[in-house]
Amino acid sequence: MAKKLLLGDEAIALGAIDAGLSGVYAYPGTPSTEITEFIQNNKLARERGIHSRWSTNEKTAMEAALGMSYSGKRALVCMKHVGMNVCADAFVNSAITGVNGGLVVLAADDPSMHSSQNEQDSRFYAKFAMVPIFEPSNQQEAYDMVGAAFELSESLKVPVVMRVVTRLAHSRAAVTVGEARDENPLNVSRDSWVLLPGIARRKYVELLGKQDAMGEAAETSVFNRIEKAEKPSVGIIACGIGYNYVKEAAGNQFDIVKVSQYPIPAEKIKELASRNDSIMVVEDGQPVVEEQVRGLLGAGYPLCGRLTGDLPRTGELTPDCVAKALGLPGGPVFEPAKNLAARPPQFCQGCGHRDVYTALNQVLATYPDYRVFGDIGCYTLGALPPFRALSSCVDMGASITMAKGAADAGFFPSVAVIGDSTFTHSGMTGLLDAVNENSNIVVVISDNLTTGMTGGQDSAGTNRYEAICVGIGVDPAHVRVVVPLPKNMEEITRVIREEIEYNGVSVIIPRRECMQTLQRHLREAKKNAK
Amino acid sequence: MKKDIILCGVGGQGILSIATIIGEAATRAGLNLKQAEVHGMSQRGGDVQSNLRLSTEEIYSDLIPLGRTDVVISMEPMEALRYLPYLAADGTVVTSSKPFINIPNYPDESALNAELDALPSAVRLDIESVAKDCGNARGANMVLLGMAAPYIGILSVDQIREAIAVVFARKGQEIVDANLKAFDEGVKASKN
């Protein structure tokens, strides 16, 4: 038994390796990225040849993991919360097919949207698919739970969701780690996973039949417990890291049902309700449990939480909002400073995206009206001053299809800006739609040869973007490559102008390496030269 | 006994290496530790902070409550001010005195300094000059750590010093010595 100082993400990664993982499948996304990176760099994982290469998107990741599970081995899929939307089709149906080797789907939620465009709660997805959830309250549980999740997945033959939030994913603490279990042997499923209606109906009934066992597992889980106070008053249901804030603020003052495994442990919650006059639900994210407990206890039982406004409806929980909701003292001593300005993130010095926006703005300013539809990545910062270049950023790939829709509506000029990694993630299919209708759009694939926003992971299509676009059907004469540097501004603006004036699908690929990865590569080269 | 520390600055200034060293020292001293970091978008030139909690008892929350921070350690003076609502009544601010200006509306420097000086306990120093003077221009964060070391309390200055040697060991003795020198200069400046 060794102790290691680990990020929540790293604890999950090591927990998975030690649980006999055979493959992690993921697309980078804050706050989940470090899980896969840890496995990529782990010695044992390398020795065992555990699959850890990045997938093109969350859907391909989920499906490949399901294939590994089908073959009897343990697979982990990791993503940020919005990745659940991308893989939802595969995920929801994996509950119907069931699994063979253990399958854990790790969703890292981002309440407060530190690095995201919404704060959707992945527990809804698990409930929708009718599968169990594990939600660790600390790094040790994160490590321990991965193994428990694989065990449960294999015993009930269902995928299991593990849900974390940013504050656990990116917080470090000491974790006691155990011995590494062997990987499962290859043992390909002999069941039919063909979800034709006749089979799917039978399998759906099977899934429904497992619900009681899932409930029983949560009721007896070592991760769920009732803590009894000397004088019960308000009972608290504390989910995931919500438990920490309750303990920080109130110690042993209240009865607590700690919930870290779902479905909600109904018997424990009923006991809590009978011992106390009212219940408060403390959960990070959306009021998933509060709604369910309302149903469990009925409209007459005094219940509060995020829905009642006792805790804020939006944003992550903090020790402060929890203490306030519990009526406990605390708060600031000093007033907020007067001489303080916001410091938003910005493009790195020398970043090629800067030159792309400078050129775009210069050309587009000569048109009476124009729109640039943006996408997800570092280049979304082009929406902020000084560029103010973007009108939209919705989801991975939406730049191309929204530009197409605007062009369909008759708007001109309609421009899309998308990064290289985002393009292969979800932009290619939209480009095919545009090609099939010869839509009058300009697609700028700002290619920095990496997945930059999340710290420089491999990008799935590097060195193949022209070939991909031509293969999809874009006229090779309108696939233009430029080098985004200030000295090339004349050429870049000329190319942009020509392609805007061309009536059809154009792709412009400004290509120059990300400053972050360039500096890393230079450091490595210097080190190797020594 | 416990100590709650906020490390802050601008993305890319190296606050996480300070966190790593204090974390190493705390682990070697057998203390409980939680350290919440900021990853992702704000690392691109935005404000960044890390909550570092050290205690002899179990630590629950990864985040420090308002009004409870013992030491704010900042690589940038305006960033130090951002966390005043988190500072405890008897807390200390240890900060670099040199502004990092990458925004058009950076506040007036003298007003900013006056606000820092009005705090019950605040230390500021041009850590970059000190680092340059001792021949380690990239060691400004070690100067800052040296300045803060006497205020951390739950760890001795020597325990933190030892952790620097451990953390930088794989980079060679030369780098270790340069960082220790920068740290020592910081400690000296703090005492004066």
For residues A364 and A495, the answer to whether their CB atoms sit within 8 Å is: no
pLDDT value of residue B73: 98
pLDDT value of residue A173: 95
A130 vs A1, more confident: A130
pLDDT value of residue B42: 65
Query: Is the per-residue pLDDT at A205 higher than 90?
Result: yes
Query: pLDDT digit string (tens) for A350-366?
Result: 999 999 999 999 999 99
* Alpha helices (H) in A19-136, listed in sequence order: 33-41, 43-48, 58-70, 83-86, 88-97, 122-129
Q: Which two tokens stand for residue B151?
A: 């205020």
B47 interfaces chain A, CB cutoff of 8 Å: yes
Distance CA A398, CA A376 (A): 9
Model confidence band, residue B184 (pLDDT cutoffs 50, 70, 90): very high
Distance of CA A205 to the CA centre of its chain: 30
Percent of residues, chain B, with pLDDT higher than 90: 89
pLDDT value of residue B76: 97
pLDDT value of residue B44: 77
For residues B87 and A333, the answer to whether their CB atoms sit within 8 Å is: yes
Domains defined for chain A, CATH in brackets = 2-219 (3.40.50.970), 225-325 (3.40.50.920), 352-517 (3.40.50.970)
Verify whether the Cβ–Cβ distance B33 to A348 is below 8 Å: no
B157 interfaces chain A, CB cutoff of 8 Å: no
Verify whether the Cβ–Cβ distance A318 to B63 is below 8 Å: yes
DSSP state of A351: -
Q: What is the mean pLDDT of chain A?
A: 97
Q: To which residue do tokens 């998308």 refer?
A: A418
Best A113, A335, A339 member to test B by mutation, with max B CBs in 10 Å, is: A339
Bridge partners of A505, per DSSP, are: A441
**Mean pLDDT value across residues B97-117:** 96
**Mean pLDDT value across residues B161-189:** 95
pLDDT value of residue B14: 83
Q: To which residue do tokens 């609502």 refer?
A: B85
Distance of CA B175 to the CA centre of its chain: 20
Chain B residues within an 8 Å CB radius of A342: 47, 103
Distance CA B133, CA B144 (A): 14
**Mean pLDDT value across residues A56-68:** 98
pLDDT value of residue A437: 98
A448 interfaces chain B, CB cutoff of 8 Å: no
Residues in A 58-97 with any Cβ partner in B closer than 8 A: none
A526 interfaces chain B, CB cutoff of 8 Å: no
Closest CA of chain B from A190, distance in Å: 43
Closest CA of chain A from B147, distance in Å: 23
* Alpha helices (H) in A372-455, listed in sequence order: 398-408, 420-422, 428-436
Q: Could you tell me the residue range of the domain that residue B60 belongs to?
A: 2-190
Q: To which residue do tokens 């608290």 refer?
A: A236
**Mean pLDDT value across residues A50-68:** 98
For residues A399 and A417, the answer to whether their CB atoms sit within 8 Å is: yes
Q: Which of A367, A295, A347, A355 has the alpha carbon at shortest distance from A453?
A: A347
pLDDT value of residue A402: 98
Query: pLDDT digit string (tens) for A10-37?
Result: 999 999 999 999 999 999 999 999 999 9
pLDDT value of residue B41: 66
> How many residues does the structure list for chain A?
530
Residues in A 25-54 with any Cβ partner in B closer than 8 A: 30-31, 33-34
B30 interfaces chain A, CB cutoff of 8 Å: no
Model confidence band, residue B192 (pLDDT cutoffs 50, 70, 90): low
Q: 3-class DSSP state for residue B7?
A: strand
- Chain A residue with minimum CA distance to B31: A174
Bridge partners of A443, per DSSP, are: A416, A507
**Mean pLDDT value across residues A242-265:** 98
Domain total of chain B: 1
Chain B residues within an 8 Å CB radius of A335: 84-85
A113 interfaces chain B, CB cutoff of 8 Å: no
Residues in A 187-216 with any Cβ partner in B closer than 8 A: none
Query: What CATH number has the domain bearing residue B12?
Result: 3.40.920.10
Query: pLDDT digit string (tens) for B127-137?
Result: 999 999 999 99
- Chain B residue with minimum CA distance to A138: B60
pLDDT value of residue B37: 87
Query: pLDDT digit string (tens) for A138-184?
Result: 999 999 999 999 999 999 999 999 999 999 999 999 999 999 999 99
pLDDT value of residue A528: 86
Model confidence band, residue B16 (pLDDT cutoffs 50, 70, 90): confident
Query: Is the per-residue pLDDT at B3 higher than 80?
Result: yes
Chain B residues within an 8 Å CB radius of A244: 60-62
**Mean pLDDT value across residues A172-198:** 97
Return the minimum-mean-pLDDT range out of A125-129, A474-478, A521-525.
A521-525
Closest CA of chain A from B124, distance in Å: 16
Query: Is the per-residue pLDDT at A527 higher than 90?
Result: no
Query: Is the per-residue pLDDT at A201 higher than 90?
Result: yes
What strands lie across the sheet with A255-259, from one edge to the other? A225-227, A255-259, A234-239, A278-282, A303-304
Query: pLDDT digit string (tens) for B49-61?
Result: 999 999 999 999 9
pLDDT value of residue B40: 65
Query: pLDDT digit string (tens) for A394-407?
Result: 999 999 999 999 99
Best B6, B15, B66, B75 member to test A by mutation, with max A CBs in 10 Å, is: B66
Query: pLDDT digit string (tens) for B73-85?
Result: 999 999 999 999 9
Distance CA A152, CA A126 (A): 15
Q: Which two tokens stand for residue A15?
A: 């927990």
Model confidence band, residue A529 (pLDDT cutoffs 50, 70, 90): confident
Q: Which of A519, A515, A529, A456 has the alpha carbon at shortest distance from A484?
A: A515
- Chain B residue with minimum CA distance to A347: B44
Verify whether the Cβ–Cβ distance A171 to B62 is below 8 Å: yes
Distance CA A352, CA A478 (A): 21
E strands, B11-135, where?
32-36, 47-55, 69-74, 87-96, 122-125
